[in-house]
Amino acid sequence: MPRKLKNIELNRLSPEAFKNAQKTPMVLVLDDIRSMSNVGSLFRSADAFRVEKLYLCGITGKPPHKEIRKTALGAEETVAWEAADSVITCVENLKKEGYKILALEQTTQSIDIREFKSVEKALALILGNEVDGVNQEVIDRCDAVLEIPQYGTKHSFNVAVSGGIALWELLSRQLP
């Protein structure tokens, strides 16, 4: 019979070890995310995949905030982040730094995320507002737009759920 592991058996990194650990060559760009719970959840997913950094753009909430802390469970203190007023400027700067710019959105030319292959080492994934998604002006600056297939009556996942699925799909083959 399987036995649930105790926290001590999970070999989790300490906050100091996490900060010094090699990161996955990916950043998340959160654009106008309204819910602090979604922001906190995305910090937690970023921690799980050792994402390099989160860019918190526009109205996206920033730490310290009790609602972010509630869902991030401390990841907001270990995952690197930076506030950016303009998502456009942020995306243009990341492009200049050599990141392949991806958006997670439904468009006429979206690529099924399961089919996406990239040889680029550094990826920037843009996650948009819970209601309006990724702004068209941002999509116009992307190298590719990815979509998670869905089969029910709803046309979208919660942004934090989408971010977790996308991180898993894009990074699981690269991680040990």
CATH number, domain of 75, equals 3.40.1280.10
What is the pLDDT at residue 118? Answer: 82
Percent of the chain with pLDDT over 90: 91
Residue 119 — pLDDT band, cuts 50, 70, 90? Answer: confident
Summarize the confidence of residues 119-145 as an average pLDDT. 95
Summarize the confidence of residues 17-27 as an average pLDDT. 94
What interhelical angle do 159-171 and 36-48 show, nearest 10?
Answer: 10
DSSP string, 70-128: HHHTTHHHHS-EEEES-HHHHHHHHHHTTPEEEEE---TTPEETTT-----S-EEEEE-
Q: For the segment 60-101, what is each residue's pLDDT rounded down to a tens digit? A: 999 999 999 999 999 999 999 999 999 999 999 999 999 999
Q: Does residue 5 fall inside a structural domain?
A: no
Range with lowest mean pLDDT among 27-31, 39-43, 153-157: 153-157
Q: What's the 3-state SS for 24-63?
A: EEEEEEEECCCCHHHHHHHHHHHHHCCEEEEEEECCCCCC
Q: Does residue 64 fall inside a structural domain?
A: yes
What is the pLDDT at residue 86? Answer: 97
DSSP state of 12: P
What is the pLDDT at residue 134? Answer: 98
Q: Does residue 91 fall inside a structural domain?
A: yes
Domain count, the chain: 1
Q: Does residue 13 fall inside a structural domain?
A: no
CA distances from 74 to 34, 78, 104, 121, 140 (A): 20, 7, 26, 28, 35
Q: Does residue 127 fall inside a structural domain?
A: yes
Q: What's the 3-state SS for 107-120?
A: CCCCEECCCCCCCC
Q: Does residue 35 fall inside a structural domain?
A: yes
Q: Does residue 7 fall inside a structural domain?
A: no
Average pLDDT value for the chain: 95
Summarize the confidence of residues 122-129 as an average pLDDT. 97
Q: What residue has token string 């819970």?
A: 130
Q: Residue 175: pLDDT above 70?
A: no
CB atoms within 10 A of CB 36: 20
Residue 176 — pLDDT band, cuts 50, 70, 90? Answer: low
3-class secondary structure, 147:
strand
Q: Residue 155: pLDDT above 90?
A: no
Please give the residue range of the domain that contains residue 154: 22-171
3-class secondary structure, 139:
helix
Q: Does residue 28 fall inside a structural domain?
A: yes
